[in-house]
Amino acid sequence: MAGVLRLDTEQDFRQEYFYRNSLAEESREKENQAAIRIQSWVRACRVQAYISHLHKKAVIIQKIWRGFRARSRFRQMVKAAYFIMKMNFYEAMAVRIQRRWRGYYVRKYVHNFYARKSYLENISMKNKQVRRDLDELEELQRRERKCLEMVKEQTAKLYQAHRLHHLVSTKQCPGVFNSPFRRAPHEMELLLRQVKYQAPTRLNPRDRAFQLGTPGPAAPNFPETLGSPWIKSTHSGSSSRPVLPPIVSRKPQTSYTLLEDVQNDLRQHNLSAFTRPIYANKTLN
């Protein structure tokens, strides 16, 4: 009885075993794929964690190295700037020393400082004296020009007074320059009263421009005109009257009383003018 029960239990166990094995075989592939996926994810997480760790360490190394290089470069730049500053300072001091020494050498062995100083002082004094003389000369020349202008102006006024002497005022007729609205007579009126009228001599064509203005060196001469450069002085002994040109001898004008005399004279004149060239040609031949 016990054996039969044992066989029955063994058969049930076998069936259960086969059933369980078949179920395990069926789910083994899925479990394998799931295990592979879990392993790949775990390994990926480990690799990513390792790579991130390496990246962080690389960044730290690069940061330290770049800081070291930058500091070393900055130290070199500071050293170069300091060296340049020292060289500039040394050069400036050397230039100052050379300047002092050359100035001392030149003052002691080349030039005498006090002699040069006195020479420059003498030159400055001479320049001041020359400037003073030039100023005086300029002032003298200015006064001379002013006097000449005044003489020319007065001479022109005298010349105009001689020419306009007929405009002087009289008791019967007041002159042009003697306005009744003036308290005192005009300057030209006083000048017209002082001078005497005399007809001016004939001027040359090149001196006619002075008739309306200031007279030139060939202007007519008037007697009794004081201060005029065109009047001869009394100590020369010559007369102050102008020297007139000589009278040119001309053929006296014939007075015709009869018409016949005029016709005869005109006929003789035409005949002589007609025969003169013929006679000249014969003499040439």
Q: What is the pLDDT of residues 216-268, one digit of tens each?
A: 444 444 444 444 434 344 444 444 455 555 655 555 444 444 556 666 777 77
Within-domain flag for 164 = yes
CA 143 – CA 237 distance, rounded (Å): 32
Torsion of CA 241, 247, 252, 253, to 10 degrees: -60
Which of 223, 241, 257 is the C-terminal boundary of a domain? 223
> How does pLDDT run across 22-35, given as a tens digit for each residue?
887 888 888 888 89
Q: What is the pTM of this model?
A: 0.30
Instruction: Print the domain residue range for 167.
Output: 149-223
Q: How far is CA 230 from CA 169, 200, 233, 234, in A?
A: 27, 13, 9, 13
If asked whether residues 102 and 154 sit together in one domain, one would say: no
CA 222 – CA 196 distance, rounded (Å): 9
Q: Which of 225, 241, 242 is CA-nearest to residue 151? A: 225
If asked whether residues 156 and 85 sit together in one domain, one would say: no
How many domains does the chain contain in total?
A: 2
Q: Which of 2-16, 48-62, 178-192, 212-226 has the lowest mean pLDDT?
A: 212-226
Which of 186, 207, 223 is the C-terminal boundary of a domain? 223
Which of 82, 111, 140 is the C-terminal boundary of a domain? 111
